[in-house]
C-alpha cells in the first residue's frame, strides 16, 4: 500500500456517490439497501478518515499538510481556481467530527426514519449535506470552499423542509436558506476583494501574503475580515443573522443533530479559524467577533430559558454554545474554539438524538410541559440525556464540556484580548446554560407523567446514544488545564496551523480561582432552576402574575424580538413593493403610447365623416385661416 | 462551407416540412428532428476538431465568402469565432429540444409549425455567423417573422396581443439598427471612399464628434430591446407566457442571446470609445434590471411570467458584464448566455409540461405536486438552484465571473448587483414551494415524466452540471475571441488605435492554413 493519503478524495466521494445512487434509483431500492447506502457511505468515509488521520499523526507530512489537486476548475488568464483538497490538522479535526458524528447520526436515522415514506430522499439529502460540509473543510481554494458553503445551505433547505406538506416547514426552510444567503453574499464580495488584493483565492497563498498587504493597506484587511465575518455569522447563526436556526427545528430530529453538531453551524467557526491570519491583522474585527459571540451567548441563553419546545431549547443552546466558540475566536484562543467545537459536536448530537428518542416515544410531542416523569420509563434515554446535559452545563471535572468551556472562560479574562466585561458575560452565559438545561431535564424527566409512551427506542437509536454519551464524558481528557494534568494533545496537534493564545502579561490571579468561580456559577444555575421548577413551582406561577415579568418572558420566548424587527424592516416593505407593482409600471408606459395612438386615430377618423357639409365647412375654415395669415404677414 | 450548409439544411428542411405537412401529420416533426440532429453533430464534430487541434489561439475558425451585390459592397460573408461557435452549438441543441417538446403539444398545422421553427433557427444561426452588416440585418429580420407566427398561431389565449407586441417592439428597434447600419456605411464611405457592409472593414471606422454616439445608440437599442433591459422589457413577459413551449424555449434560450451577441460583436468593437462613455449608464441599467426583474418575478402568479421576469434579472448580469470590458466578465457573460439558456429553458419546458397536465399556469392552483411527480420536483429544484446561482451548476460560474469582472470595473455597481443573488433566492424558492410543496390542491391523478421528457431533462441536467463542474472547454473555446474583444474594447486615444490587420481583415488566410 503506497500512501493512504492519496485516497483523500474518496472521503467526500463516498457521500456524493451515496447521494447520486439514492437520488437516481433510491425509490426503487428496498429499505435495507437505502439504509445501507445512506449510512454505509458515511461510515466508509469515517473509517477512511480514521486511517488517514492515523497516518497523519504517526507520519506527519513535512510541510504540515497534504494537498491533492483533482482538476483545474476555471482558467482565465490570472484567475485559475482548482478543484483540490487540502488536509492539515485543522481540517482533519473537522473531517473527523463530520464523518464520525455524521455516521452515528446516519445510523440513528436508519431506525428513526424507518416508517417515513420518503426514506431514500432523506438519506440522499443527508449524504449530500455531509458531502458539502466535507468539501467545505477540505477545500484549499476559497471558491471551492464557497461551493461547499452554499451546498450546505441547499441541504439545510431540503432537510428543514423535508416534510413538505406543511407550509410552515417550507417557510422555515426558505428562511434558513435566505438568511444564510445574505451572509454568503457578503462573503462573496469578500472573495472579490481578496482576489483583487492578493491576486488569488488559494488559501495558503492568501494567508502568507496577509502581512505584506497589511503593511500597504491595513484597512483593506479589516474590510475583508468584516465581509468574511458576515458569511460566518450567517452560517453559524450568530447575531444579527441568528433567527433562522430556531425555526430550522421544523426538520426531522436527526437533521437538527446534523446541522447543529457536525455540519452547517460550525462552518462559520471553521472559516474564521481557517482565515485566522486575516483576523489577527485586524484587531478591530477580532474584538467584534468576541463581542458578537458574547452577546449571542447571552441573548440566546435567555431565549432558551423561555422556550416550551424541547428542540427549540436545544436550538437556542446551540446558538449560545457557538457564541462561546466565536468568543474564543475573538479572544485569539483558536485552539480553545476548536476544542469546544469538538466537544460540543459530541454532546449536542447526543442531546438532539436523545430528544428525538423522547419525541418519538411520545407520539411526536414537542412540548416540554406535556412531558414529565420519563426518568424510569425511558431510563437509557434519561441517562444519556443526563450525560449530555452535564457536558452542556460543564459539570466540573466529570464532563468533557467542563474542560472545553473552562478554557474559554479562563481566556476571556486572561488572554491578551480578554477583559472583565467579556468574562462577566461568559460567566452569566454559563449560569443561564446551567439554568435552562436543568429546567429542560426537570420538565422532561421528573414530575408527573403527562403523556403515554408508545414504545422504547430500538437498538438503532440506542447504540449511537451510548457511543456519544461515552465521548461526551471522556473526550475532554485530551486537553487538561494548566494547573492540573496540563495535557495539551489537541492544541499541540493544531499548533502547526493555529497560533497559541497570547496571555495577558501582568496577570495577578490564579487559574484555580476562576475554575472554582465557574463551578459555583454552574451549580448556582442548577440550584436556581431546581428551586423554581422542582422545589417551589408555585414561585413561578406567582412571577407570571406580574405584567413586567410576563412581558420579559414573552420577549425571551420570541428570541428577543429579532423576527419582528426584520419583518417590519425588510420583509413587509419588499413584499409590499412587489405586490403593488405586480402588473409592472413600465408596461403602463407602453400601454399609454398605444392608448394615445388610439385616441389620435379616433379623433382624426372623426373628421372623415362622409358628410359633405363637414367637408365644405372644413374647406372654408381652412381658406379663412390661410387668408388671415397672408394678410397678417 | 460548413456554415452555408448549416443554414441551408435549416431553410431546406423547413420547406420540406412545409410540403410534407400537406400529406403527413407525423412526418414533419421527424424531418425537423433529423435535420437538427444532423446540424448538431456537424457542429460538435467541427468543435471537437478545432478544440483538439494544435492551433488554439486562432480567433477565426472558418469562413465563407461570396459576392452578392458588388455595386453596393454587399457580400454573402459568414465567419465564426469561438463566441459564434458556442452560440451555434447552443442553437442546434435547443433546437432539438424544441422539436422534442413540441412532439405532442402541437396538434394542428404541423407542417407549417416546423417550417416556422426551422426558419427561426435559420435566422438565429445566420445572425451568429453573418459578417456583413447587410446580411446580418437580413437574418435579424428573418428570425422575427416566423416567431411572430409561432406566437400568434400556436400560442395560448392572449396570443394575438402578445404577438403584436413582440413584433412592434423588435421591428421598431430593428429599424433603428438599420438606420445606424446605413449611417455607418456612409460614414465609412465618407472617410475612405469605400462603400462596404463588410464587418472587418468597418471596424476601426473613424467618426467625427458625436456621430459614434448616435450610431451606437441605433445598434444598442435594437440589442437591448432583444436582451432585454429595463425599461424595454415589457414585451418579454407577454411573449414568453403566450408562446407555445418551444416558442418560450427559443425566445429565452436563443432570441435574447442575439441581443447579447450583437453587443459583443458590433457595439463594443465598432464603437469602443462611445461604449466606454456609456458604460456607467449601461451598468446601472443592468443593476436595475437585476433587481427589478427579481422583484417582479417574486410577485407573479403566472408561472411562465415568473420565469420570464427571472430572465430579465439574469440578462441584467449580461449587460453588467459586457460593459465591464474585461476578460473575466466577458467569459462570465459567455457562460451566462449558455447557462441561462439551459436553466431558463428547462424551467419553461417544465411550465409547458405542467400546463399539459394541469391546464393552467396559475401558481395559486398548484401545490403539493411532489408526491405525484418526484422526478419533476427534483428537476425543478435543481433548476431553481441553477437559477439562484448555486455553486456546482453553470449559472454560478457565469454570475461569479461577471461579478468578479464587474468588481474591477465598478465596485458599487457590483455590490448592488449582488443583491440580485439574494432576491433570486426569494423568487426561486417561492416558485418551488408553490408548485411542488405545501398541501395538495388537486385530487386528479397526474403522471410524472414520460421517457421523452426524461430524455429532454436529463440532457439539460447533464449540461448544466457539466458547465458548473468543468466549464473549461467553454472557456477555452471562447478564450481567443474574448481576448480579442478585450483588446478591441481597450480604452485608447482615438487615432492611435492600431488593429491587428492579420486577425481582422482576412480570416480567409487562416481558413486556408488549415
Q: DSSP letter string over A567-583?
A: IIIIIHHHHHHHHHTTT
Query: What pLDDT digit, counting tens, does each position of B154-213 carry?
Result: 988 888 989 988 998 888 899 999 999 999 998 888 888 888 888 888 887 888 878 888
**Residues of chain B with pLDDT > 90: what percent?**
39
Residue B492 has a pLDDT of: 55
Query: Does A192 sit within 8 Å of B414, measured CB to CB?
Result: yes
Helical H segments across A26-141, by residue range = 31-58, 89-112, 119-138
Residue A2 has pLDDT above 70, yes or no: no
Residue from the list B234, B298, B479 with its beta carbon closest to the beta carbon of A586:
B234
| Mutation to test the A interface, candidates B404, B409, B430, B454, most A Cβ within 10 Å | B404
Give residue A192's pLDDT band: very low, low, confident or very high (50, 70, 90): very high
Q: Which residues contact A503 (CB under 8 A, 6 or more apart)?
A: A414, A415, A416
**End-to-end alpha-carbon separation of chain B, Å?**
13
Query: What pLDDT digit, counting tens, does each position of B380-421 carry?
Result: 999 999 999 899 899 999 999 999 999 988 889 999 999 889
Put simply, whether B408 touches A (Cβ < 8 Å) is yes
State chain B's mean pLDDT as an integer. 87
Residue A543 has pLDDT above 70, yes or no: yes
Q: Is B209 exposed, middle or buried (0-12, 13-18, 19+ CB in 10 A)?
A: exposed
State chain A's mean pLDDT as an integer. 85
Give contacts of A79 with chain B, Cβ < 8 Å. 328, 401, 404
A307-319 burial string, b = 16+ CB within 10 Å, else e? bebbbbbbbbbbb
Q: What is the DSSP letter of A501?
A: P
Where would I find the beta strands (DSSP E) of A450-571? Answer: none
Q: Is B253 exposed, middle or buried (0-12, 13-18, 19+ CB in 10 A)?
A: buried
Residue B502 has a pLDDT of: 41
With contact defined as beta carbons under 8 Å apart, do A59 and A106 qualify? Answer: no
Give contacts of A23 with chain B, Cβ < 8 Å. 378
| Mutation to test the B interface, candidates A584, A589, A593, most B Cβ within 10 Å | A584
d(C-alpha A151, C-alpha A145), whole Å: 10
Q: Which residues contact B265 (CB under 8 A, 6 or more apart)?
A: B83, B199
Residue A368 has pLDDT above 50, yes or no: yes
Q: What is the DSSP letter of A504?
A: P
pTM for the structure as a whole: 0.91
Range from A52-56, A267-271, B34-38, B338-342 carrying the lowest mean pLDDT: A52-56
Query: Does B300 sit within 8 Å of A164, measured CB to CB?
Result: no
Query: Does B391 sit within 8 Å of A151, measured CB to CB?
Result: yes
Residue B514 has a pLDDT of: 36
Residue A359, min C-alpha distance to chain B (Å): 24
Residue B198 has a pLDDT of: 87
- Degrees to nearest 5, angle at CA B506 with B500 and B508: 140
Query: What pLDDT digit, counting tens, does each position of B33-69 carry?
Result: 999 999 999 999 998 888 887 666 778 888 888 888 8
Residue B128 has a pLDDT of: 93
* Pairs of CB atoms within 8 A across A/B: 130
Helical H segments across A453-568, by residue range = 459-474, 489-494, 511-530, 537-543, 547-557, 562-566
Q: What's the per-residue H, E or C state across A531-544?
A: HHHHHCHHHHHHHC
d(C-alpha A226, C-alpha B441), whole Å: 46
Residue A538 has a pLDDT of: 75
d(C-alpha B30, C-alpha A547), whole Å: 77
Residue B496 has a pLDDT of: 41
Cell of B266: 458590433
Q: Is A456 exposed, middle or buried (0-12, 13-18, 19+ CB in 10 A)?
A: middle
Cell of A362: 411520545
Query: What pLDDT digit, counting tens, does each position of A78-127 carry?
Result: 888 888 888 888 888 899 999 999 999 999 888 888 888 888 889 999 99
CA dihedral B197, B199, B203, B205 (to 10 degrees): 10
Q: Which of B:322-341 have CB within 8 Å of A?
A: 327-328, 331
Amino acid at each position: 500500500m503506497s500512501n493512504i493519503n492519496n485516497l483523500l478524495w474518496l472521503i467526500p466521494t463516498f457521500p456524493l456517490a451515496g447521494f447520486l445512487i439514492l437520488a437516481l434509483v433510491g425509490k426503487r431500492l428496498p429499505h435495507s439497501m437505502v439504509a445501507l447506502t445512506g449510512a454505509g457511505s458515511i461510515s466508509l468515509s469515517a473509517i477512511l478518515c480514521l486511517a488517514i488521520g492515523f497516518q497523519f499523526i504517526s507520519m506527519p507530512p513535512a510541510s504540515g499538510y497534504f494537498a491533492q489537486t483533482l482538476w483545474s476548475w476555471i482558467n482565465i488568464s490570472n484567475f485559475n481556481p482548482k478543484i483540490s483538497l487540502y488536509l492539515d490538522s485543522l481540517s482533519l479535526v473537522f473531517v473527523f467530527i463530520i464523518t464520525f458524528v455524521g455516521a452515528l447520526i446516519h445510523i440513528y436515522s436508519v431506525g428513526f426514519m424507518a416508517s417515513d415514506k420518503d426514506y431514500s430522499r432523506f438519506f440522499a439529502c443527508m449524504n449530500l449535506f455531509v458531502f458539502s460540509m466535507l468539501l467545505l473543510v477540505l477545500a484549499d481554494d476559497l471558491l471551492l470552499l464557497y461551493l461547499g458553503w452554499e451546498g450546505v445551505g441547499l441541504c439545510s433547505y431540503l432537510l428543514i423542509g423535508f416534510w413538505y406538506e406543511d407550509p410552515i416547514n417550507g417557510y422555515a426552510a426558505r428562511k434558513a436558506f435566505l438568511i444564510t444567503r445574505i451572509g454568503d453574499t457578503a462573503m462573496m464580495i469578500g472573495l472579490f476583494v481578496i482576489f483583487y488584493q492578493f491576486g488569488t483565492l488559494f488559501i495558503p497563498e492568501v494567508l502568507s501574503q496577509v502581512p505584506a498587504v497589511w503593511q500597504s493597506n491595513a484597512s483593506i484587511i479589516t474590510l475583508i475580515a468584516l465581509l468574511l465575518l458576515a458569511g460566518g455569522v450567517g452560517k453559524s447563526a450568530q447575531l444579527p443573522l441568528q433567527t433562522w436556526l430556531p425555526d430550522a427545528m421544523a426538520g426531522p430530529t436527526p437533521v437538527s443533530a446534523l446541522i447543529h453538531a457536525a455540519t452547517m453551524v460550525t462552518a462559520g467557526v471553521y472559516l474564521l479559524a481557517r482565515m485566522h491570519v486575516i483576523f489577527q491583522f485586524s484587531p478591530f474585527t477580532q474584538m467584534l467577533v468576541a463581542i458578537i459571540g458574547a452577546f449571542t451567548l447571552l441573548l440566546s441563553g435567555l431565549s432558551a430559558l423561555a422556550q416550551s419546545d424541547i428542540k427549540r431549547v436545544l436550538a437556542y443552546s446551540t446558538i449560545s454554545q457557538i457564541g462561546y466558540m466565536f468568543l474564543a475566536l475573538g479572544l485569539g484562543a483558536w485552539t480553545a474554539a476548536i476544542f469546544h467545537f469538538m466537544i460540543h459536536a459530541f454532546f449536542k448530537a447526543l442531546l438532539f438524538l436523545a430528544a428525538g428518542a423522547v419525541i418519538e416515544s411520545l407520539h411526536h410531542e414537542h412540548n416540554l410541559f406535556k412531558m414529565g416523569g420519563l426518568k424510569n420509563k425511558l431510563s437509557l434515554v434519561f441517562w444519556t440525556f443526563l450525560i449530555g446535559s452535564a457536558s452542556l452545563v460543564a459539570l466540573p471535572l466529570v464532563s468533557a464540556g467542563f474542560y472545553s468551556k473552562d478554557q474559554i472562560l479562563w481566556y476571556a479574562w486572561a488572554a491578551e484580548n480578554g477583559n472583565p466585561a467579556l468574562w462577566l458575560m461568559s460567566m452569566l452565559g454559563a449560569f443561564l446554560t446551567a439554568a435552562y438545561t436543568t429546567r429542560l431535564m426537570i420538565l422532561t424527566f421528573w414530575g408527573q407523567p403527562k403523556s403515554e409512551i408508545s414504545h422504547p427506542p430500538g437498538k438503532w437509536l440506542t447504540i449511537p446514544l451510548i457511543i456519544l454519551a461515552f465521548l461526551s464524558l471522556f473526550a475532554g481528557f485530551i486537553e487538561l488545564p494548566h494547573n492540573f494534568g496540563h495535557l495539551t494533545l489537541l492544541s499541540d496537534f493544531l499548533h502547526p496551523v493555529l497560533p497559541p493564545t497570547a496571555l495577558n502579561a501582568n496577570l495577578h490571579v490564579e487559574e484555580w480561582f476562576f475554575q472554582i468561580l465557574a463551578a459555583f456559577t454552574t451549580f448556582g444555575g442548577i440550584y436556581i432552576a431546581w428551586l423554581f421548577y422542582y422545589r417551589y413551582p408555585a414561585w413561578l406561577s406567582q412571577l407570571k402574575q406580574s405584567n413586567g415579568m410576563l412581558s420579559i418572558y414573552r420577549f425571551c420566548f420570541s428570541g428577543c424580538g429579532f423576527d419582528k424587527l426584520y419583518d417590519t424592516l425588510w420583509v413587509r416593505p419588499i413584499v409590499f413593493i412587489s405586490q403593488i407593482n405586480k402588473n409592472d409600471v413600465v408596461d403602463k408606459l407602453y400601454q399609454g403610447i398605444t392608448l394615445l395612438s388610439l385616441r389620435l386615430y379616433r379623433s382624426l377618423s372623426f373628421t372623415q365623416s362622409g358628410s359633405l357639409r363637414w367637408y365644405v365647412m372644413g374647406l372654408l375654415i381652412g381658406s379663412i385661416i390661410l387668408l388671415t395669415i397672408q394678410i397678417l404677414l | 462551407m460548413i456554415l452555408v450548409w448549416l443554414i441551408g439544411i435549416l431553410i431546406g428542411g423547413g420547406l420540406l416540412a412545409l410540403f410534407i405537412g400537406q400529406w403527413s401529420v407525423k412526418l414533419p416533426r421527424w424531418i425537423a428532428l433529423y435535420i437538427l440532429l444532423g446540424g448538431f453533430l456537424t457542429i460538435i464534430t467541427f468543435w471537437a476538431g478545432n478544440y483538439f487541434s494544435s492551433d488554439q489561439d486562432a480567433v477565426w475558425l472558418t469562413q465563407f465568402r461570396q459576392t452578392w451585390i458588388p455595386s453596393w459592397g454587399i457580400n454573402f460573408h459568414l465567419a465564426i469565432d469561438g463566441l459564434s461557435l458556442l452560440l451555434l452549438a447552443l442553437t442546434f441543441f435547443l433546437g432539438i429540444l424544441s422539436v422534442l417538446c413540441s412532439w405532442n403539444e402541437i396538434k394542428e398545422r404541423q407542417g407549417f409549425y416546423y417550417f416556422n421553427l426551422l426558419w427561426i433557427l435559420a435566422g438565429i444561426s445566420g445572425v451568429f455567423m453573418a459578417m456583413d452588416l447587410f446580411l446580418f440585418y437580413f437574418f435579424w429580420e428573418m428570425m422575427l417573422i416566423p416567431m411572430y407566427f409561432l406566437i400568434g398561431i400556436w400560442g395560448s389565449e392572449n396570443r394575438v396581443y402578445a404577438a403584436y407586441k413582440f413584433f412592434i417592439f423588435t421591428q421598431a428597434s430593428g429599424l433603428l439598427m438599420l438606420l445606424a447600419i446605413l449611417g455607418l456605411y456612409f460614414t465609412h464611405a465618407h472617410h475612405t471612399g469605400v462603400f462596404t457592409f463588410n464587418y472587418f472593414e468597418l471596424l476601426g471606422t473613424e467618426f467625427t464628434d458625436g456621430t459614434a454616439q448616435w450610431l451606437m445608440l441605433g445598434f444598442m437599442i435594437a440589442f437591448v430591446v432583444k436582451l432585454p433591459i429595463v425599461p424595454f422589457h415589457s414585451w418579454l413577459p407577454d411573449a414568453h407566457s403566450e408562446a407555445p413551449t418551444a416558442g418560450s424555449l427559443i425566445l429565452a434560450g436563443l432570441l435574447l442571446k442575439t441581443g447579447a451577441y450583437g453587443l459583443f460583436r458590433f457595439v463594443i468593437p465598432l464603437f469602443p470609445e462611445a461604449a466606454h462613455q456609456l458604460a456607467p449608464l449601461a451598468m446601472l441599467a443592468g443593476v436595475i434590471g437585476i433587481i427589478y426583474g427579481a422583484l417582479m418575478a417574486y410577485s407573479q402568479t403566472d408561472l411562465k411570467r415568473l420565469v420570464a421576469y427571472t430572465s430579465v434579472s439574469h440578462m441584467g448580469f449580461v449587460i453588467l458584464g459586457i460593459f465591464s470590458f474585461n476578460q473575466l466578465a466577458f467569459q462570465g457573460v459567455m457562460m451566462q448566455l449558455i447557462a441561462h439558456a439551459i436553466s431558463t429553458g428547462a424551467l419553461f419546458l417544465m411550465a409547458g409540461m405542467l400546463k399539459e397536465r394541469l391546464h393552467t399556469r396559475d401558481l395559486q392552483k398548484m401545490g403539493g405536486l411532489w408526491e405525484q411527480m418526484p422526478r419533476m420536483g427534483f428537476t425543478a429544484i435543481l433548476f431553481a438552484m441553477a437559477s439562484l446561482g448555486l455553486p456546482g451548476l453553470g449559472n454560478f460560474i457565469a454570475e461569479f465571473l461577471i461579478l468578479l469582472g464587474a468588481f474591477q470595473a465598478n465596485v458599487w455597481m457590483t455590490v448592488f448587483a449582488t443583491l440580485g443573488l439574494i432576491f433570486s433566492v426569494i423568487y426561486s424558492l417561492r416558485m418551488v414551494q408553490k408548485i411542488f410543496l405545501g398541501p395538495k390542491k388537486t385530487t386528479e391523478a397526474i403522471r410524472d415524466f414520460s421517457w421523452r421528457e426524461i430524455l429532454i431533462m436529463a440532457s439539460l441536467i447533464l449540461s448544466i452540471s457539466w458547465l458548473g463542474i468543468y466549464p473549461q472547454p467553454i472557456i477555452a473555446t471562447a478564450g481567443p475571441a474574448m481576448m480579442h474583444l478585450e483588446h478591441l474594447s481597450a480604452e485608447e486615444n482615438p487615432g492611435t488605435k492600431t488593429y491587428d490587420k492579420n486577425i481582422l481583415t482576412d480570416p480567409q488566410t487562416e481558413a486556408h492554413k488549415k
